[in-house]
A and B are shown apart, each in its own frame.
Chain A
Amino acid sequence: MFLNQFLLFAAVLFCIGVYGVLTRKNGVLVLMSIELILNAVNINLVAFGAFNGTIPGQVFALFVIAVAAAEVGVGLAIVLLIYRNRRSIDVSEANLLQG
């Protein structure tokens, strides 16, 4: 098995996630796309861990999973607050800071 096939798989997932973050207007869907990006990074970490035959790849993948859990918790709280204040989670309408 080539190392490359895992890296390319991760790259495709990453780019699909980037497309989702850029095009989606719904706040929850943006958070889901971010999860996709973080998963792609994790595949890379685990693949390099297997390639080198060392453990740290897997350890850092676990750290990324923990950070993703923290991120989605705070992110959903912010989305809920936006919904409560504006009755909509359309992120393109959350533009109060625009000059």
Chain B
Amino acid sequence: MIAALSSPIMAQAGSVMTETEEWVANGFFYVIAAVAVIAALKMVTTKNVVHAALYLLVVLVCVAATYIILGAEFAAATQLLVYVGAIMVLLLFGVMLTRAQIGAEDDLDHEQKWLGGLVAVVLLAVMTYAVTDQWGMDKLPADRRVQRTQEVADSIFSTYIVPFEAISLLLLAALIGAIVVARRD
């Protein structure tokens, strides 16, 4: 079904990325990845809750930029709208309603931080090994193209219509659940 819908477009857009374009995309990726990783590290170590939220914002925008590099324009737009627009506001409301103190807080981390660090480092080592072992030298196809929003919509409303409806119900249930849980009565 998907193949039937998208194959004519794929056949048309067969433009191969030139060497220079690959280099530019690569450079952008490494800059974005470095910014994202530094911001994420700051986020999990900062002593100020509001600063953590702002660092998370930087990470989310960098992830949206990564989607652009990968040619997933609709996912990037949704990332900006839903995460940066809605979820960040929700998290900042959470910070506000729980009356976080203004400025730095000393009591944000567990005493046994090193154990968490150990788990993260071991996990990273295992994942790096597994990923490099399996996908070590695989390159993204040079003739990859932007995945158009129309194809995404065709796919969602044909092949994935049942999961889509399930997600709608899940969102409704989560909405009602959040209101019921947080209501003062």
Residues of A within 8 A of B (CB): 1-9, 11-20, 22-29, 31-33, 35-36, 39, 42-43, 46-47, 49-51, 53-59, 61-63, 65-74, 76-81, 83-84, 89-90, 92
Contacts and interface: CB of A to CB of B under 8 A. Distances in A.
Contact of B87 (A29, A69, A80): A69
A50 B135 CA distance: 14
A64 to B, nearest CB: 10
Contact of B2 (A4, A54, A63): A54
A77 B171 CA distance: 14
Given A13-B40, A26-B108, A46-B72, A59 B155 contact: yes
Given A54-B2, A72-B91, A80-B98, A25 B110 contact: yes
Contacts of A43: 63, 66-67
A35 B56 CA distance: 9
Interface in B117-137: 117, 119-121, 123-124, 127-128, 131-132, 135-137
Contacts, number: 251
Contacts of B182: 76-77, 80-81
A2 B74 contact: no
B98 A92 contact: no
Chain B interface: which size bin? 35 or more
A11 B124 CA distance: 7
Nearest to B141: A53
Secondary structure class of chain A's binding surface, majority of residues: helix
Given A46-B72, A54-B2, A73-B175, A19 B181 contact: no
A1 B139 contact: yes
B87 A35 contact: yes
A65 B84 CA distance: 12
B155 A16 contact: no
Given A18-B120, A53-B141, A28 B87 contact: no
A16 B90 contact: no
A53 to B, nearest CB: 6
A68 B83 CA distance: 9
A65 B105 CA distance: 31
Interface string B1-18: 010001000100000000
B29 A46 contact: no
Contact of B170 (A8, A59, A70, A83): A70
Given A9-B36, A62-B156, A69-B82, A76 B170 contact: no
